[in-house]
Amino acid sequence: MIDFRLDEEYEALRKTVRDFAQHEVAPVIGGFYEREEFPYELVARMGQMGLFGLPFPEEFGGMGGDYFALCLALEELGRVDSSVAITLEAGVSLGAMPIFRFGSKEQRERWLPALCSGEALAGFGLTEPGGGSDAGATRTTAKLDGDEWVINGSKSFITNSGTDITQLVTVTAVTGEVNGRKEISAIAVPSGTPGFTVEPKYSKVGWNASDTHGLSFSDCRVPAENLVGERGRGYAQFLSILDEGRIAIAALSVGLSQGCVDECLRYVREREAFGHQIGAYQAIQFKIADMEVRAHTARLAYYQAAAKMLRGEPFKKEASIAKLVASNAAMDNARDATQIFGGYGFMNEFPVGRFYRDAKILEIGEGTSEIQRMLIARELGLR
């Protein structure tokens, strides 16, 4: 019989992160959000809790857990705030994971301990200006000059790329041409490397307490041994990283969806209109019931995708389904929660206002909803 109950270790982790989110993140995150300030103190605390090391082996300073453990943590953080959640998601699945999956022994030993402890962050430089969903249209170049790569180009919308604790960014670059097609490789560029410029932070609609920058490279030189994985396999490596990341984004989206339900349940028991608590009105009850259905369904979707991934089975379709369903649920629940709160839902001081601003990017980042539909159709044999 299928059993969706969490075992003791997963449940203990979920409760620990939930307590942290409620008692340490919730009271202060609104201020960080309004100031558009990166919450270094909260990130340091997450590092101390071992959250950045959850899916990595202990030999690299990790917790020896798995990717599902990371997803549970992201869901609980997302119930309170997405900026903190995406900092963890990007730091692990986009920053450290390429080094762990494809890096050399020396690269792992050099960079993973600090990334697993949360003392340092790493970025994932794939998207380029004008490229968007067409990530294969890479224009950034890297040419070998003796024992160094010389990198020129730019990247956009890169999370965790400009903080005081950002250690490196792994970027995709065209390193040659094979049979008339671009050879795209992945190269690790440490922060502070001459020729590597972090552009001013973006003015964003949401995720205001997370770090997002454009990056530029002008004759930026790094050692040849900074090649991550096999030359010419960078694009394929990053696509596999994105498959995993979509499960993580689905978990974060479920957290936001459930957070909308949490906030609405509190509010409708306090707010009165026309002589009754508004939770007594069927129109409100039905709206919240639909919100709970969306969150519940999306959770099951990412649970299944994570289960297939951990069993070593193909999971591309399930990851796309989870990401599509969960991001839609987040956007729909945020809209309904804002409506239930009325004018208060339009105020940033209330969590649902932040949820509404944060939800839209979940339908865009790590593959738009349209890309997810395309991937699902391909997995069904429609080409």
The crossing angle, in degrees rounded to 10, of helices 40-48 and 82-89 is 50
Separation in Å, CA 216 to CA 134, 163, 201, 222, 246: 19, 16, 13, 14, 26
Which alpha helices (DSSP H) does the chain contain, by range?
8-20, 26-35, 40-48, 67-78, 82-89, 97-102, 105-117, 234-268, 282-310, 316-341, 351-359, 369-379
Question: Rounded to whole angstroms, how far apart are CA atoms 93 and 101?
Answer: 10
Task: Give kind and range of the element (H or E) at residue 227.
Answer: strand 227-228
Q: What does the DSSP assignment read for 111-143?
A: HHHHHHHTSSEEEEE---TTTTT-TT----EEE
Structure tokens at 117: 């402890």
Handedness of CA 57, 58, 62, 66 (dihedral sign): positive
* Closest C-alpha to 267, from 339, 208, 332: 339
Question: Rounded to whole angstroms, how far apart are CA atoms 69 and 66?
Answer: 5
Q: Is residue 366 among the annotated active site residues?
A: yes
Q: What does the DSSP assignment read for 145-201?
A: ETTEEEEEEEEEEEETSSSTTEEEEEEEEEEEEETTEEEEEEEEEETT-TTEEEEEE
Q: Which position among 76, 244, 263, 366 bears the catalytic label?
A: 366
Structure tokens at 314: 């193909």
Query: Parallel, antiparallel, or unpaired: how do β-strands 141-145 and 181-190 relate?
Result: unpaired
* Closest C-alpha to 152, from 166, 171, 136: 171
Structure tokens at 313: 């089975």
Q: How many Cβ atoms from other residues are within 10 Å of residue 136's Cβ?
A: 13
Write out the catalytic residue numbers: 366
